[in-house]
Amino acid sequence: DQQVKQNSPSLSVQEGRISILNCDYTNSMFDYFLWYKKYPAEGPTFLISISSIKDKNEDGRFTVFLNKSAKHLSLHIVPSQPGDSAVYFCAASGSSSSNTGKLIFGQGTTLQVKP
């Protein structure tokens, strides 16, 4: 039973356009969501996060949107750059004590930004 899902394995966009990566979750106890970027042969790098008390968080070209009623979050990258080409993972954690420090990851979406 996968609690965090990224249903699009891959996404291709043109340089300068917007990239939208999507993530769905099933556990209503999740209250903190993160996006990581991963290049080949490297570990995931933290990108941006959002708490469930917010519906939007922005950091430069990256914006994460959270729709709690739909249990859906998305990452917008604008404008997209070729260096953004990587695998993007969303992750979620909950506030219950049993979930302390436990991140649940999606399968990842491979983004390709074409020059």
Partner 1 sequence: ETGVTQTPRHLVMGMTNKKSLKCEQHLGHNAMYWYKQSAKKPLELMFVYNFKEQTENNSVPSRFSPECPNSSHLFLHLHTLQPEDSALYLCASSHPGHGYQETQYFGPGTRLLVL
Distance CA(79)–CA(111), nearest Å, equals 13
Closest-CA residue to 78 (of 22, 8, 14, 11):
14
Least distance to partner 1, CB of residue 57, Å: 12
Least distance to partner 1, CB of residue 114, Å: 23
Nearer to partner 1 among residue 40 and residue 115 (C-beta): 40
Residues that bind partner 1 (CB under 8 A): 2, 4, 31-32, 34, 36, 41-46, 49, 51, 89, 91, 93-95, 99-108
Nearer to partner 1 among residue 17 and residue 54 (C-beta): 54
Long-range contacts of the stretch 100-106 (C-beta < 8 A, 24+): 103/34, 104/3, 104/4, 104/25, 104/27, 104/30, 105/4, 106/2, 106/4, 106/5, 106/6, 106/23
Least distance to partner 1, CB of residue 42, Å: 5
Q: Which two tokens stand for residue 3?
A: 């609690």
Least distance to partner 1, CB of residue 53, Å: 10
Nearer to partner 1 among residue 69 and residue 100 (C-beta): 100
